[in-house]
Amino acid sequence: MLDDLKAIHDRDAQDALGIVGKQAEQLGYSFEGVTQQPVEVSNVVYGGMGGSALAALLFETWPKLTKPFAVVRDYDIPTYVGPETLFIAASYSGNTEETLSAIAQAEAQGAHIAVIAGGGKLADLARAKNYPLVLLPKAEQPRYAVLYNFKALLTLLEQAGLLAASDVDAELSATASFLAESANAWAVEVPTASNPAKQLAQELMGKSIVVYGGPKMYPAAYKWKISFNENAKHIAWVNQYPEFNHNEFIGWSEQPVDKPYAVIDLRSNLEHERVQKRFIVSERLLSGKRPQPYVVEAKGETVFQQLLWTIAYGDFVSIYLALLNGINPAPVVLVENFKKEMDK
């Protein structure tokens, strides 16, 4: 089926494959009119959910900050948020209720405020109170705008003078080129026999998916979970090494005996050497007790390149899995229904 271009076009009505194939272009997007000034703060707190949170999680790997950085995915914010905090509220729709609750608390606690949004109540609030505002371009779904969100956050934090990394523009340019070239191997025109993304999607059909990454690749593992959930409408979970070896590792050893799962290891040669060894030793000791993992070796010369390469690969895999499941990848009707029910 994955080599039937007409069938794919019929099921992928919003061209999700085309969108993820062009994600690299988002890194080159220029946000104009951003007015964030350098700030003297002791910490940065970012409030966002789902794909908005993922953009911030990427920062924990690269380019990192010169101040403590926390990501809040909740209605409530830490008590330490105050006048020495830069609080960044992010929501693609601008109407995410958890984020609106969090920014109201940040205001009450006297934090510096900045906003990333595609519109909605959050953008209106920023305009009304003259907060620094970065407006996100229109996208088919928020999860397809993660790199726009990342670039927006980078723009704010660079202007605030809080980035730890240097040569940011050079890294973005090199990564965008690398990502665009890499995506060609997973494109819909590449037949299954030569397309690793299509091949892995076929292996995952009908199985509950568990994705693992080390500390550096965890944001990519989390994105794989999001993509399986939202693109393929397929259950998936995520966890991280080395924490895995302190609890979940033993959970695989006995029950249930029948394990209808697919295990995916996102590995990187840039992880701590002991983390790399943990993957290998865990695979050996759990042989015969859990399904053999599908090992994805991240490609790229830098951590950022490896992260985005792995994220893009997972996007293609999840969309191909959606098509195999007979599903249009883009809509998330149940999420929209949930929001309506919550508003009653």
User: SS3 for 48?
Assistant: coil
Give the chain's domains with CATH numbers: 5-12+173-324 (3.40.50.10490), 39-160 (3.40.50.10490)
Confidence of residue 65 (pLDDT cuts 50, 70, 90): very high
Residue 258 has pLDDT above 90, yes or no: no
Percent of the chain with pLDDT over 70: 100
Written as six digits, the tokens of 311 are: 């994220």
**What is the per-residue pLDDT for 15?**
96
**What is the per-residue pLDDT for 34?**
87
Average pLDDT, the chain: 96
Residue 226 has pLDDT above 90, yes or no: yes
**What is the per-residue pLDDT for 32?**
86
**What is the per-residue pLDDT for 35?**
82
Alpha carbon distance 245, 243 (integer Å): 5
What DSSP letter does each residue of 209-259 carry, written as one string?
Answer: EEEEE-TTTHHHHHHHHHHHHHTS---EEEEETTGGGGTHHHHTSSSSSS-
Residue 257 or residue 117, greater confidence: 117
Section 8-15 average pLDDT: 95
Confidence of residue 277 (pLDDT cuts 50, 70, 90): very high
Under 8 Å between Cβ of 304 and 168? no
Nearest 5°: CA angle at 119, between 117 and 122? 65
**What is the per-residue pLDDT for 344?**
86
Percent of the chain with pLDDT over 90: 92
Query: DSSP alpha helices (H): ranges in the chain?
Result: 5-11, 16-21, 50-59, 97-108, 120-129, 146-159, 168-183, 196-204, 218-230, 248-251, 273-285, 303-324, 333-342
What tens digit of pLDDT does each residue of 155-204 get? 999 999 999 998 899 999 999 999 999 999 999 999 999 999 999 999 99
Query: Do strands 133-135 and 85-91 pair parallel, antiparallel, or not at all (unpaired)?
Result: unpaired
What tens digit of pLDDT does each residue of 281-310 get? 999 999 999 999 999 999 999 999 999 999
Alpha carbon distance 119, 260 (integer Å): 42
pTM recorded for the entire structure: 0.95
What tens digit of pLDDT does each residue of 30-43 get? 998 888 889 899 99
**What is the per-residue pLDDT for 36?**
86
